[in-house]
Amino acid sequence: MRLSPAELAALVEGTETCPHRFLGAHPLADGGQVIRALFPGATSCRVLKDKAGRGEEMAKLADLGVFELVYPKSAAFRYRLQVTYADGTTDGTTQVHEDPYRFLPTISEPDLFLIGKGDDHKVFHKLGSHVRTLDGVTGVSFAVWAPSARRVSVVGDHNLWNGRAHPMRALGASGIWELFLPGLGVGARYKYEIVGAHDQTPFIKTDPCALHFEPSPNHAAIVCDVSGFVWNDQAWLEQRRQADSRARPMSVYEVHPASWRRVPEEGNRVLNYRELGTQLAEYCTRLGFTHVELMPPSEHPFDGSWGYQVTGFYAPTHRFGTPLDFMAMVDTLHRANIGVIADWVPAHFPRDFFALARFDGTHLYEHADPRLGEHQDWGTLIFNYGRHEVRGFLVGSALSWLERFHIDGLRVDAVASMLYLDYSRKAGEWVPNRHGGRENLEAVEFLRQVNALVHLYHPGVVTIAEESTSYPGVTKPVAEGGLGFDYKWNMGWMHDSLDYFKQDPLFRKFHHDKLTFGMLYQWSEAFVQSFSHDEVVHGKGSLIGKMSGGDDATKAANLRCLLAMQWAWPGKKTLFMGCEFGQFAEWKFDASLDWHLLRYPLHEGLQRLVTDLNHLYRQDGSVAAKDLDSRAFAWINANDGDQSVLTFERHGDDCAWVVVGNFTPVERTYRLGVPFAGKWEEAVNTDSLHYAGKGLGNLGGVQAEAKPTHGRSHSIEVRLPGLSVVIFRQKR
């Protein structure tokens, strides 16, 4: 195969889409073979045929550094290339390389077919960078999707960021570009230099599928190999696989890793992943939480986005260590029997040009029409869920977190913005779907697909929707026409509860329906009752700061009531860090929580209450098992708004709770019906001295009497402290 002037020009000018056609070793029609090499800046190149270093000089075809050597009568043989550069002696500037253009593609035709259909569910094993051994040679394979590009090159420290040195080959019509670079390994920094379909000037992009990135402002991807990590969480994974999460207690502690706890003695530095694993495991075990939820752990460029504007959908952020360190954190938490849920953000991505935006010079990942492709609230771009490869990229991201990093759940952010084409848009600013409706049909199908695949490949993993509308069937199985989430955040209950506890107790009787309205829709979905970071930012103040009261003690009493109602209400639980001890300051992403507050009884008491609520919830696991069963809940009296008292029952197979809330500062003697005779233990009393309350209560419990009340044959007369919730329990 001789090189024509046009073919040589294509190599020199960087317009050849498959440099492997001409570079490397190729047979000649009349026998023998030709070897060509590309080394920009080289003055000479030799073909080395054996380990002794004997070789022959190649002819230089172009000043760029294209070399050729013809072997008229020669079978194929293994070879290396000895390259000498212009600026020095042989010892200083001569290097020996394996030829990257002699290797076969690392992605097969069947793989390309599945990727193009969006049906390669683990595309992350093909795209991105991977340490491999091919034909006995260790190196790194690179693959990236850029269908409209005219040239894509791997650039990095290895080639002085020269885009002419290592052009990739386009694999047919797939839009995927691929190259294997021998000799590279873990730690190599790289990006892709791309010439777009309508561009003359190359631009640089980082790898969408990379596992590790360097900090701003460079954002280079870093070759990473996590295959050698030794996990010690097999017991955890097995019990997770066999368990039904809905039938188990689930109490989630939401954490922003950069601001949970810092090290003031070392310049207020953030904890690294391994420190976070150790300290969160101890803290959550002590307080009784079953899971940690990490605000988006994915790579992101701007601290102030809290991780919700993602540029590395497969990579744990570099801020706290390497992917191996992240794995160690998860492993530590699992060995402490703490699950790990990650916030996952497939709803949008930032406009930062180094990442996904106009990736190959076109609107590749996003819609070209701004009515479909731009998120007006956040100034970000919206994924084109109708494109097979985009869906495959996002599905791969979800499954990568579960497979590679053993994550136990995905809390999917901003689901409402995905479901509706007119989300936060005025008339004329959105495009109806093919039926003329407002639902984003492609996004709906994507969510169904990702939920189905998560549950197929990883039984026991949970998915949680942050969905603030009344879209039907969010937690209904995909097979039954639902979206397939395991849980949905109960935004309505959260807003109503906060609105109620903001009210002066004098006027709460006029807002009693805020406490009861949620039960009208409680069983329509599988709910998580959540007080998240969204409630303590953007000038909203802290959770304790929202409570009614002219002094700290009254605010704390109201917060104790709110937290007890959250735990007593049917459904799983999520609480943002700092709320468990009543931090007064609004959350700041760039500072530690105010841990010093725990020196004071009021804050220590709140933390003790959350601890006792968690332990009661877990001890009475049969009640938690009925969190989503309407038959296990009953109002005792939902209508005593005049006294601002609310009473209800929770039932498990071997245990029952009677919950009594008194939401004015007036102490009361109160009779209420109970479902069973016998003694009712006072399991939690938020007014206990143990929680920095006033210490009023029922001496540990009360005996039921055969006095019919509230439609029950037995009742108890109890002492209700002002601003308190009391949970009575009885083992059956």
The CATH number that applies at residue 592 is: 3.20.20.80
CATH number of the CATH domain containing 692: 2.60.40.1180
Statement to judge: residues 42 and 115 lie in one domain: no
| Consecutive H or E run containing 568 | helix 552-568
pLDDT value for 89? 41
In the sheet that holds 33-38, the strands lie side by side as 24-27, 33-38, 66-71, 59-62
Statement to judge: residues 328 and 476 lie in one domain: yes
pLDDT value for 293? 98
pLDDT value for 104? 94
**Residue at 718 is within a domain:** yes
Statement to judge: residues 63 and 188 lie in one domain: no
Q: Domain boundary at 621, 641, 661, which?
A: 621
Q: Known catalytic residue: 504? A: no
Sign of CA dihedral 564, 687, 637, 621: positive
The secondary structure of residue 74, as a DSSP letter, is -
Statement to judge: residues 31 and 69 lie in one domain: yes
Do the strands 59-62 and 66-71 form a parallel or antiparallel pair, or are they unpaired? antiparallel
Question: How far apart are alpha carbons 726 and 413 in whole angstroms?
Answer: 34
What is the residue type of 437? Answer: G
Q: Domain boundary at 621, 649, 679, which?
A: 621
**Residue at 262 is within a domain:** yes
Statement to judge: residues 468 and 570 lie in one domain: yes
**Residue at 248 is within a domain:** no
**Residue at 450 is within a domain:** yes
pLDDT value for 522? 97
Non-local (6+) Cβ contacts of 411 within 8 A are 293, 341, 342, 343, 344, 463, 464, 466
**Residue at 247 is within a domain:** no
Statement to judge: residues 90 and 115 lie in one domain: no
**Residue at 228 is within a domain:** no
Per-residue confidence at 447, pLDDT binned at 50, 70, 90? very high
Helix (H, G, I), strand (E, B) or coil at 296: coil
Non-local (6+) Cβ contacts of 10 within 8 A are 16
Statement to judge: residues 272 and 208 lie in one domain: no
**Residue at 682 is within a domain:** yes
**Residue at 227 is within a domain:** no
CATH number of the CATH domain containing 29: 2.60.40.10
pLDDT of residue 90 exceeding 50, the answer is no
- Name the average pLDDT for the chain: 95
What Å distances lie between residue 642 and 393, 510, 645, 662, 664, CA to CA?
56, 8, 8, 11, 10
Non-local (6+) Cβ contacts of 550 within 8 A are none
Q: Known catalytic residue: 413? A: yes
Of the residues 413, 442, 535, 620, which is catalytic? 413
Statement to judge: residues 300 and 377 lie in one domain: yes
What is the residue type of 19? Answer: P
Per 3-state DSSP, the chain is made up of helix, strand and coil in percentages (nearest 5) of: 30, 25, 45
Statement to judge: residues 47 and 153 lie in one domain: no
pLDDT per residue over 653-692, tens digit each?
Answer: 999 999 999 999 999 999 999 999 999 999 999 999 999 9
Statement to judge: residues 150 and 290 lie in one domain: no
Statement to judge: residues 458 and 328 lie in one domain: yes
pLDDT of residue 1 exceeding 80, the answer is no
Total domain count for the chain? 4
CB 680 within 8 Å of CB 730:
yes
Proportion of the chain above pLDDT 90, given as a percent: 93
CB 502 within 8 Å of CB 547:
yes
Statement to judge: residues 367 and 412 lie in one domain: yes
pLDDT per residue over 147-176, tens digit each?
Answer: 999 999 999 999 999 999 999 999 999 999
Q: Domain boundary at 99, 132, 161, which?
A: 99
Range of the domain at 696: 629-731
Per-residue confidence at 31, pLDDT binned at 50, 70, 90? confident
Of the residues 120, 466, 467, 486, which is catalytic? 466
